[in-house]
């Protein structure tokens, strides 16, 4: 009988433990979490005991104190006695492994390595900040957590080159990464648009290469923009990160994306002898580092200074998007290829990367590069970071290369997170929080033996269109929480619903940390069953409210007022009436809002409006691929426009031309700052009949009748937003309005800011 009872209890524990873990306020989910009986309360002034002379434990204790102060408002301190203890335990194997034991009397963090003590401290900090009760004592349930990471590379890439990011804005990123056990910060330090690190032997790299003229949409450019980090600034950041268990991996991109370096030292690293300006065009530009001896010496001298700043194992050499036209047209490069017995420019790049790999190996470092380095037959000692999908990673792992997964679009954090009009600029390759969470680094096709070569994964926060630190934080968080979980937690323990539950207290922590995390996954989105014009026609269509995660209870108002935890509960689609303004948000069980309120405006002007930020659709044979700001590098969050950079044409769908025919269209003129390289031929030119081109408006789609034509003004003298007014012929119902610009391809880029119909009633 007793053995039956023991079996029943074991079965109950096996059922309860995973549920308990999924509801614990922890990100990432621990490898193993076993509940026990009882609880301990931690209040203000609780003591932390560390082994005498153990600097690693003392550091972990200080980090715990700092984190709990910010996230919970409690003051902890090291002391001779107290309820929190750090201990060294050789039985907890692995530098990053730890055991956290909570009993009714004491909380113990045990590890053999310094990182393990830090990660245990960060887990405890989360247990001590589980809810909205800031400043109050915390009751922690008894439990034992045995934890270690699944992957060794758990990272984030910050692009400080395209949009320079002041050094002080990187420290909160490091803190937030450490709080969720991410251990690798990849810094993209050079590109066509800027060189961001001081090199004392070559001062013009920053004197010239760190600053560029801003892209403009007509008129004269303003003052140069940019910046760089001194070596001392970077050493301090590296030390700060290392103290928190994070290694910083620097990247100097080569042989491509070299325009800033060539602008500074064309005679040293250039291919064809010209000195370009530092670039302001996003994409792929033609300037390459030369593979000649003079250039290779230059690069190795640069590496020497950087290796002294960054002591980590890996150094990233880029290797991506190097169009070889300059090498193909250079007699010097062609002669070098012949002397080396190389038949293709890709082999030339492979030789260059291999030489750099050998040099780094002589300094006890490892080379890592984007997956294009595979095209040059580099040795298996080179580590591959896969970004062009996943085929490169599969091939590399099976060949014996170590690989890091960072594929586009899955882990490109400059992709938008929702289709809402308040999304900041970026790529229009929708990557929701759930999509990122579902990513699996070990891809199909990787053999069982090769799986060990998958070091892990990272999110890439490219900054072509994200100009400010807050915009970059919005793009990065909370999707980086999803990356933290799938790179740390066992694959079979991951659970989307549990993650959403555990993310809710993390969103509160982001607020307390001053991190501008996006709330898109919890925000209310609206779907109208019908066209906007149906509301004006009295057909009363239904409005459905939903969030990406389904978390919380949606509450709403219909008079434009802010919803509260006592507002009406959304239970079924709402029958819309003209003039209503539905405002809604989701609330957690404790009554706090999970996101800022979002609105659906059913007033007459709003129903007769289409915006370039959310309502416009692509013209036939095209696609809206980017969400771009009005001004390159703008500091504000708006306006932003969804555009097809290959075709200055968009459509306003289903406009109610039976209700209103007069209109005002607001036109936006944007910089055409795109380096398209071999994709130049995809640009679509529309025939112009005036000097600066026209806005041609058609009713019934882009093959419909021409309803209005407006000559465009001189871009050097006109403002970058201006209005045209006119009227359309009355239609029996809804009609698509095609808005096509015929400006020359050498001129700025035009799009529609707003199309506002004006009712005749």
Report, as residue numbers or ranges, the catalytic residues.
191, 257, 321
Nearest to 167 by CA among 235, 229, 232: 229
Three-point CA angle 364, 366, 371, nearest 5°? 165
CATH code, domain with 100: 3.30.379.10
**Contact, 259 vs 192, CB < 8 A?**
yes
**C-alpha span between 714 and 496 (Å, rounded):** 53
pLDDT at position 17, please?
55
Residue 635 has pLDDT above 90, yes or no: no
Is 119 found in the same domain as 185? no
Residues ≥6 apart with Cβ < 8 Å to 53: none
Q: Identify the residue with better confidence: 603 or 759.
A: 603
Tell me, yes or no, whether 197 lies in a domain. yes
Residue 5 has pLDDT above 70, yes or no: no
**C-alpha span between 738 and 409 (Å, rounded):** 29
Residue 14 has pLDDT above 50, yes or no: no
**What three-state secondary structure class fits 59?**
helix
Is 714 found in the same domain as 616? yes
pLDDT at position 7, please?
36
Is 141 found in the same domain as 27? yes
Is 456 found in the same domain as 536? no
Residue 328 has pLDDT above 60, yes or no: yes
Q: Which residues pair with 508 in a beta bridge?
A: none
Residue 18 has pLDDT above 70, yes or no: no
Residue that terminates a domain, selected from 479, 513, 547: 513
Residue 16 has pLDDT above 50, yes or no: no
Is 157 found in the same domain as 140? no
Tell me, yes or no, whether 166 lies in a domain. yes
Average pLDDT over residues 222-244: 97
pLDDT at position 376, please?
86
Whole-number average pLDDT of the chain: 95
Is 583 found in the same domain as 615? no
CATH code, domain with 701: 2.60.120
**C-alpha span between 646 and 679 (Å, rounded):** 9
Is 286 found in the same domain as 435? yes
Report the domain count for the chain: 4
Is 224 found in the same domain as 300? yes
Q: Compute how many other C-beta atoms are within 10 angstroms of the C-beta atom of residue 452.
A: 11
Residue 322 has pLDDT above 50, yes or no: yes
Residue that terminates a domain, selected from 602, 630, 662: 602
Average pLDDT over residues 497-506: 98
Tell me, yes or no, whether 357 lies in a domain. no
Question: Residue 189, CB half-sphere, CA atoms under 13 Å: how many?
Answer: 27
Q: List C-alpha distances in Å: 125 to 36, 129, 140, 490.
A: 19, 6, 11, 21
CATH code, domain with 186: 3.20.20.80
Average pLDDT over residues 523-531: 97
Residue 1 has pLDDT above 70, yes or no: no
Residue pLDDT, tens place only, 598-622:
999 999 999 999 999 999 999 998 9
pLDDT at position 760, please?
59
Tell me, yes or no, whether 348 lies in a domain. no
Residue that terminates a domain, selected from 128, 147, 166: 147
Residue 52 has pLDDT above 70, yes or no: yes
Residue 402 has pLDDT above 90, yes or no: yes
**C-alpha span between 261 and 279 (Å, rounded):** 10
pLDDT at position 737, please?
97
Which range marks the domain in which residue 616 is found?
A: 609-759
**C-alpha span between 361 and 6 (Å, rounded):** 57
**C-alpha span between 692 and 706 (Å, rounded):** 19
Tell me, yes or no, whether 691 lies in a domain. yes
Q: What is the C-alpha R_g of the chain?
A: 29
Instruction: Supply the DSSP symbol for 521.
Output: T
pLDDT at position 639, please?
86
Q: How confident is the model at residue 368 (pLDDT cuts 50, 70, 90)?
A: very high
**Contact, 371 vs 388, CB < 8 A?**
yes
**C-alpha span between 540 and 558 (Å, rounded):** 14
Q: How confident is the model at residue 70 (pLDDT cuts 50, 70, 90)?
A: very high
pLDDT at position 23, please?
87
Residue 3 has pLDDT above 90, yes or no: no
Q: What own/partner pairs with CB < 8 Å and gap ≥ 24 does 172-177 have? A: 172/513, 172/514, 172/515, 173/473, 173/476, 174/237, 174/240, 174/241, 174/244, 174/246, 175/244, 175/513, 176/477, 176/480, 176/510, 176/513, 176/515, 177/244, 177/246, 177/480
Report the residue count for the chain. Answer: 761
Task: Provide the token pair at 632.
Answer: 């390159």
Three-point CA angle 221, 224, 227, nearest 5°? 155
Is 159 found in the same domain as 143? no
Residue 163 has pLDDT above 80, yes or no: yes
Is 158 found in the same domain as 124? no
Tell me, yes or no, whether 365 lies in a domain. no
Tell me, yes or no, whether 326 lies in a domain. no
**Contact, 661 vs 730, CB < 8 A?**
yes
Is 260 found in the same domain as 140? no
Question: Residue 393, CB half-sphere, CA atoms under 13 Å: how many?
Answer: 25
Residue pLDDT, tens place only, 254-274:
999 999 999 999 999 999 999
Tell me, yes or no, whether 325 lies in a domain. no
Is 172 found in the same domain as 203? yes
Q: Identify the residue with better confidence: 22 or 558.
A: 558
Q: How confident is the model at residue 20 (pLDDT cuts 50, 70, 90)?
A: confident
Residue pLDDT, tens place only, 682-740:
999 999 999 999 999 999 999 999 999 999 999 999 999 999 999 999 999 999 999 99
């Amino acid at each position: 009988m007793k053995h039956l009872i023991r079996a029943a209890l074991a079965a109950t524990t096996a059922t309860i433990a995973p549920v308990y873990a999924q509801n614990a306020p922890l990100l990432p989910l621990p490898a193993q979490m076993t509940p026990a009986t009882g609880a301990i309360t931690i209040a203000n002034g609780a003591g932390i005991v560390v082994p005498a002379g153990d600097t690693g434990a003392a550091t972990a204790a200080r980090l715990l104190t700092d984190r709990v102060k910010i996230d919970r408002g409690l003051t902890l301190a090291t002391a001779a006695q107290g309820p929190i203890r750090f201990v060294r335990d050789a039985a907890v194997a692995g530098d990053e492994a730890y055991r956290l034991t909570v009993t009714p009397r004491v909380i113990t963090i045990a590890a053999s390595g310094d990182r393990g003590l830090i990660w245990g401290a960060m887990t405890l900090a989360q247990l001590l900040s589980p809810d909205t009760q800031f400043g109050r004592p915390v009751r922690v349930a008894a439990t034992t957590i045995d934890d270690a990471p699944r992957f060794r590379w758990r990272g984030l890439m910050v692009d400080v080159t395209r949009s320079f990011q002041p050094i002080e804005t990187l420290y909160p990123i490091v803190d937030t990464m450490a709080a969720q056990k991410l251990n690798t910060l990849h810094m993209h330090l050079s590109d066509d648009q800027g060189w961001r690190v001081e090199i004392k032997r070559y001062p013009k790299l920053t004197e010239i290469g760190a600053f560029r003229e801003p892209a403009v949409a007509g008129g004269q450019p303003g003052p140069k923009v940019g910046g760089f980090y001194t070596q001392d600034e970077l050493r301090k950041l590296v030390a700060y990160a290392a103290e928190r268990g994070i290694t910083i991996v620097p990247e100097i991109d080569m042989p491509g994306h070299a325009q800033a370096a060539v602008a500074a030292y064309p005679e040293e690293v250039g291919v064809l002898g010209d000195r370009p300006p530092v670039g302001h065009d996003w994409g792929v530009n033609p300037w390459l580092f030369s593979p000649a001896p003079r250039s290779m010496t230059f690069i190795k001298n640069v590496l020497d200074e950087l290796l002294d700043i960054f002591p980590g194992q890996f150094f990233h050499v880029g290797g991506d998007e190097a169009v070889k036209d300059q090498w193909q047209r250079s007699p010097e490069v062609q002669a070098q290829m012949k002397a080396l017995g190389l038949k293709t420019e890709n082999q030339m790049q492979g030789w260059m990367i291999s030489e750099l790999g050998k040099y780094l190996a002589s300094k006890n470092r490892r080379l890592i590069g984007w997956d294009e380095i595979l095209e040059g037959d580099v040795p298996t000692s080179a580590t591959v970071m896969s970004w062009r999908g996943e085929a490169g990673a599969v091939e590399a792992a099976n060949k014996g290369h170590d690989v890091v997964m960072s594929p586009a679009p899955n882990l490109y954090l400059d992709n938008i997170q929702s289709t809402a009009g308040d999304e900041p600029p970026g790529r229009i390759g929708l990557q929701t929080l759930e999509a990122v969470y579902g990513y699996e680094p070990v891809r199909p096709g990787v053999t069982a033996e090769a799986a060990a070569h998958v070091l892990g994964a990272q999110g890439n926060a490219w900054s072509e269109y994200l100009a400010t630190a807050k915009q970059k934080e919005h793009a990065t968080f909370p999707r980086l929480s999803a990356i933290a979980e799938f790179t740390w937690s066992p694959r079979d323990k991951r659970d989307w619903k549990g993650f959403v539950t555990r993310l809710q207290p993390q969103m509160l922590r982001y607020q307390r940390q001053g991190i501008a995390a996006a709330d898109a996954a919890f925000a209310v989105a609206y779907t109208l069953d019908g066209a906007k014009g149906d509301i004006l026609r009295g057909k009363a269509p239904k409005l459905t409210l939903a969030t990406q995660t389904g978390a919380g209870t949606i509450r709403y108002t219909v008079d434009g007022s802010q919803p509260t935890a006592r507002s009406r509960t959304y239970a079924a689609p709402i029958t819309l009436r003209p003039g209503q303004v539905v405002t809604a948000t989701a609330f957690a069980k404790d009554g706090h809002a999970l996101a800022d309120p979002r609105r659906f405006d059913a007033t007459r002007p709003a129903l007769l409006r289409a915006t370039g930020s959310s309502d416009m659709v692509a013209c036939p044979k095209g696609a809206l691929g980017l969400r771009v700001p009005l001004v390159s590098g703008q500091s504000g969050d708006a306006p932003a426009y969804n555009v097809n950079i290959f075709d200055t044409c968009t459509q306003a769908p289903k406009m109610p031309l039976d209700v209103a025919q007069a209109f005002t269209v607001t036109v936006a003129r944007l910089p055409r700052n795109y380096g398209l390289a071999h994709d130049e031929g995809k640009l679509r030119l529309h025939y112009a009949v005036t000097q600066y081109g026209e806005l041609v408006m058609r009713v019934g789609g882009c093959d419909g009748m021409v309803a209005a034509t407006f000559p465009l003004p001189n871009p050097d003298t006109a403002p970058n937003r201006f209005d045209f007014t006119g009227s359309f012929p009355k239609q029996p119902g809804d009609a698509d309005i095609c808005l096509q610009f015929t400006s020359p391809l050498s001129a700025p880029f035009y799009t529609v800011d707003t199309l506002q119909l004006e009712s005749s009633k």
